[in-house]
Structure 1
Amino acid sequence: MSDRKIQISLPSIGEEEWLACKDPLMSGWVTQGPKVALFEKAFAERHGVKHAIAVTSCTTALHLALVGLGIKAGDEVIVPAFTWVATANVVLYCGATPVLVDVDPKTFNIDIEQARARVTEKTRAVIAVHLFGRCADVDALREALPHNVAIVEDAACAAGAELAEGRCAGGLGDVAAFSFHPRKSITTGEGGMVTTNDSVLAERMLQARNHGASISEEQRHAGPRPYLLPEFNLLGFNYRMTDIQGAIGVVQLGKLDELLTEREHWAAWYSEQLADIDCIRTPAPSPSGRHGWQAYVLYIDLDKSPVARNELMSALEELGVSTRPGTHAVHMLGYYKNEYHYQDEDFPNARDCNNQTMAIPLHNRMQADDYQFVVQCIRRIICG
Structure 2
Amino acid sequence: MNPKPKRTIQIAQPVTGEDEWLAMRESIESGWLTHGPKVNAFERAFSERHDVKHSLACTSATTGLHLALTAIGIGPGDEVIVPAFTWVATANAVLYCGATVVLCDVDPRTYNIDIQDAVRRVTSRTKAIIPVHLFGLCADIPALRALLPAHIRIIEDAACAAGGSLGNTSAGALGDVGVFSFHPRKSITTGEGGMITTNDAGIAERCIMLRNHGASISEEQRHRGAKPYILPDFNLLGFNYRMTDLQGSVGIVQLNKLDRFIDERATWAAWYRKKLSHIKWLRHPEEPKSGRHAWQSYVTYVEPDIAPLVRNEIMQFLQDRGVSTRPGTHAVHMLGFYRERFGYDADDFPGARDCDINTMAIPLHNRMCEDDYNYVVDALLEIS
**Do both proteins adopt the same fold according to a TM-score greater than 0.5, normalized to the shorter chain?**
yes
- AA aligned to 1:327 is T
Residues 322-346 of structure 1: per-residue CA shift (max 9 Å, x gap): 0000000000000000011000000
Alignment of 1:112 onto 2:129: no
Give 1:157's match in structure 2, choosing from 155, 160, 173.
160
Please state if 1:234 is matched with 2:232: no
Partner of 1:327: 329
Counterpart in 1 of 2:28?
Answer: 25
Answering whether residue 303 of structure 2 is matched by residue 295 of structure 1, we say no
Amino acid at match of 2:267: H
How far 1:128 moved relative to its partner? 0.7
What is the rounded CA distance, in whole Å, between the counterparts of 1:272 and 1:101 in structure 2? 33
Counterpart CA distance in 2 for 1:281 and 1:361 is 15
1:25-174 aligned at under 5 Å gives the runs 25-165=28-168, 167-174=169-176
Aligned length, in residue pairs? 381
Q: CA deviation at 1:57?
A: 0.2
Partner amino acid, structure 1, of 2:49? R
Q: Tell me the SS of whatever aligns to 2:154.
A: strand
The C-alpha deviation readout for 1:234-293, integer Å capped at 9, x for no partner, is 100000000000000000000011000000000011111111111110011211100000
Q: For each residue in 1:12-50, what CA deviation from the matched residue of structure 2 results, as whole angstroms up to 9, or x when unmatched? A: 111100110111101110000000000000000000000
Following superposition, the deviation at residue 158 of structure 1 comes to 0.1
Letter in 1 for 2:44: K
Counterpart of 1:287 in structure 2: which amino acid?
K
The superposition leaves residues 135-193 of structure 1 with CA deviations (integer Å, 9 ceiling, x where unpaired) of 0000000001000000000000000000113x100100000100000000000000000
Aligned to 2:257: 255
**Once the two structures are superposed, what CA deviation does each residue of 1:88-112 show, in whole Å capped at 9, x if it has no partner?**
0000000000100000011000000
CA distance in 2 between counterparts of 1:245 and 1:135 reads: 26
| Structure 1 counterpart of 2:204 | 202
Identity of aligned residues (%): 63
SS in structure 2 at match of 1:79? strand
- Give the corresponding residue for 1:191: 193
State the alpha-carbon separation in 2 of the partners of residues 3 and 215 from structure 1.
Answer: 56
Aligned to 2:361: 359
Give me the whole-angstrom Cα distance separating, in 1, the residues matched to 2:332 and 2:219: 38
Residue 266 (structure 1) aligned to one of 268, 277, 293: 268
Offset at residue 228 of structure 1 (A): 2.2
| CA deviation string 1:102-137 (max 9, x = no partner) | 000110000000111000000000001000000000
The runs of 4+ residues in structure 1 deviating greater than 2 Å are: none
Amino acid at match of 1:283: P
TM-score where L is the length of structure 1: 0.99
What is the match of residue 13 of structure 1? 16
Query: Alignment partner for residue 277 of structure 2, among 275, 278, 281?
Result: 275
Structure-1 separation of matches of 2:263 and 2:188: 13
Distance (Å, rounded) in 2 between the aligned partners of 1:274 and 1:239 = 43
Worse-superposed segment, 272-281 or 39-48: 272-281
* Residue of structure 2 equivalent to 1:376: 378
Deviation for aligned residue 1:222: 1.2
**Quick one: which amino acid aligns to residue 315 of structure 2?**
M
**Given residue 90 of structure 2, which amino acid in structure 1 is its aligned partner?**
T
**2-side partners of 1:203 and 1:158: how far apart?**
24
Query: Deviation at 1:3?
Result: 4.0
| Structure 2: distance between partners of 1:270 and 1:62 | 33
Q: Which runs of 5+ in 2 are unaligned?
A: none
Q: Indicate the SS of the match to 1:5.
A: coil
Aligned counterparts of 1:227 and 1:23: Cα–Cα separation in 2: 27
Letter in 1 for 2:316: S
- Matches of 1:217 and 1:207 in 2, distance apart? 11
Distance 1:285 1:135 in 2: 9
Separation in 1 of the partners of 2:306 and 2:90? 32
For 1:304, the equivalent position in structure 2 comes to 306
Give the whole-Å Cα distance in 2 for the aligned partners of 1:216 and 1:127: 29
1:313 correspondence with 2:315: yes
Distance 1:324 1:20 in 2: 32
CA distance in 2, matches of 1:375, 1:39: 38
